[in-house]
A = this chain, B = another copy of it.
Amino acid sequence: MIEIVWAEENDFVASVAECKHNVVLEDEFKQAWGCGVVVTQEDIDRVVAQVVEEERAVLEENGWGYKARLIPKVRKQLQFASGKLVNEALDRQLVSVLGENTADAKAKFQENMKKKRKQKKKEQKQEQKAAEQAVTQQQEEKAEEKTEEHKHDGGQKVTPWEASADKEFDYNRLIEHFGSQHLTQEHLDKIAALGIPVHHFLKRNIFFSHRDFDTVLEKKAKGEPIFLYTGRGPSSQAMHLGHLIPFLFTKYLQEAFDLPLVIQMTDDEKFLFKRNLTLDDDPETGVAALCRENVKDIIAVGFDPDKTFIFSDLQYMGGDFYRNVVRFERCVTLNQAMKIFDFTRENNIGQISFCAIQAVPSFPSSFPGIIQPGAHCLIPCAIDQDPYFRLTRDVAPRLGYEKPSLLHSVFFPAMTGGSSKMSSSANAVASIFLTDDQDTVRSKIFKYAFSGAPNTLKEFKEQGADLDADISYQYLRFFMEDDEKLEAIGSAYAAGDEKMTTAAVKEELTKVLQHIVKQHQERRAQVTDADVEKFMTPRKLGGQSF
């Protein structure tokens, strides 16, 4: 007679009566130490049904032979159930799925086992190989994470510190990505309607995008106050042709629209972002010296000394300017700054908050006694600076200020073509500096300027040159003011005219650039320290009524 005790599922019990559940006393266990394990018939049926359901597809493929593979899966959840009861339950379930067991099921199963063992061996080898590649892969993934944004934007990445693209820059996509507007013929017509000449940078889509430029046109038409703001980060002694673009255009805007202008030298930014720079007067690395030299180049562009205030952040910081900085900073969370500028926790805290310093010259109250209160700001700049001013436009209304208007230029391409900008650090040897002598200008053009023409004269005559890819032609678009002449060169070159080969185009470009560089050098030689002093002295800029 067996004694009766109360028991929970999966308990060990020595007897069966008064159990909440049916008791399955696994015979072997009971014989061995006089106790069994409580497992209900329902539990067995439930687990078996569940496993069969999960494996149904493979089971149907393999037939009864697969039964042996199901056992461990069932047993895992039913360790102490009687093998006999599990087997019966499994058979019942399998019959319902597969029909009755046939004679060749075992043979089929044996066959399958052999195949699978081979497969297993193969997989093991592959796994080992994969493990070896894992380290390399991890490193690559890390790099990929950093350029995620880059990838998402069709392979191009544009931040104030980096501009790269898989192929050529897609400026339409950039407009879409940044949310700015195309400059249209209508804008150009409106400028002309104001009696203002239209610069070839506008006609040739070199300045191609804008934000609120219509406001500028309206205010100009009404005679309301506007001022220009542009800037430069003085990170190197010599400026190159690319650096000239925004300044040439700004000079045009100042003259043609008759506007006061502030030029920010972001010496603090360059110091914060380039670890090799110092704050002193070292001619190679001191931002004070670099700033002064760059200011001379900027003055040499020909700005109106009466209407232009050039300031160094390191010198000018303070007072109302600083008050606007803290007001701006209070409106920007770390999260925003990190997202917009792609910062990590390894960036320094000055970099994190620098955006406020580039933002506040958009507000006339940063220039008390210099710019008329309430004047509307127009910022000509390369498109890569847009993130700063997108943020500025976002914050401005919260400070009670007007959003600045913007005119965006394309990048000035590198001599070697492709999707890089001209640079004074990367690929400097192929950049034309404003300090280069006439022969150097010529030899750089002939040596490095990427040609869009085929390799042989025969092919050239047949196919003509690819103007978009041809750097000499592209540079002419930037620097040859004569529309008709440019058009003539372009059509002949594109048509494969043997009088307008790459060499001939390079010759044209050489003449243009030698002239520009020479003129710049002559003007720069005239710029004195007193001129620098004058341009950098805070004072009421001319042509304003306040």
Contact = CB atoms under 8 A, between A and B. Distances in A.
Interface in A1-36: 5-8, 11-14, 26, 28-29, 32-35
A128 to B, nearest CB: 16
Interface string A346-366: 111111110110000000000
Interface in A238-271: 268, 271
A87 B32 contact: yes
Interface in A327-356: 327, 329-335, 337-338, 343-353, 355-356
Contact of A349 (B69, B76, B83, B352): B352
Interface string A317-335: 1110011011101111111
Contacts of A12: 68-69, 71, 113
A12 B316 CA distance: 82
Most buried by B among A6, A113, A355: A113
A314 interface: yes
A353 B350 contact: yes
A106 interface: yes
- Which of A117, A330, A333, A343 is the most central at the interface, judged by chain B CB atoms within 10 Å of its CB? A330
A347 B330 contact: no
A337 B343 CA distance: 14
A129 interface: no
A480 interface: no
A9 to B, nearest CB: 12
A330 B275 contact: yes
Counted per complex, copies of this chain come to 2
A213 interface: no
A126 interface: no
A109 to B, nearest CB: 8
A290 to B, nearest CB: 15
A198 B505 CA distance: 86
Contacts of A301: none
A5 B107 CA distance: 13
A33 B352 contact: no
Contacts of A348: 329-334
A120 B8 contact: yes
A338 to B, nearest CB: 7
Contacts of A6: 117
Interface string A63-100: 00001110110011001100110010000000000000
B71 A29 contact: yes
A526 interface: no
A333 B319 contact: no
A271 B318 contact: no
A220 B379 CA distance: 56
A279 interface: yes
Interface size class of A (residues with CB under 8 A): 35 or more
A79 B75 contact: yes
Contacts of A72: 79-80
A110 interface: yes
A350 B322 contact: no
A347 B333 contact: yes
A272 interface: yes
A315 interface: yes
Given A334-B343, A334-B344, 12 more contacts: A12-B71, A28-B83, A32-B84, A34-B106, A279-B323, A279-B327, A317-B318, A318-B318, A332-B349, A333-B348, A334-B347, A334-B349
26 contacts: A8-B117, A8-B120, A12-B71, A29-B71, A32-B84, A33-B106, A35-B109, A79-B79, A268-B322, A271-B326, A279-B327, A314-B326, A318-B319, A329-B348, A329-B351, A329-B353, A330-B348, A332-B348, A332-B349, A333-B346, A333-B349, A334-B344, A334-B347, A349-B353, A349-B355, A353-B353
Minimum-distance CB pairs A-B, first 7: A318-B318, A329-B350, A335-B345, A28-B83, A353-B353, A349-B353, A32-B87
Interface of A: 5-8, 11-14, 26, 28-29, 32-35, 67-69, 71-72, 75-76, 79-80, 83-84, 87, 106, 109-110, 113-114, 117, 120, 268, 271-272, 275, 279, 314-319, 322-323, 325-327, 329-335, 337-338, 343-353, 355-356
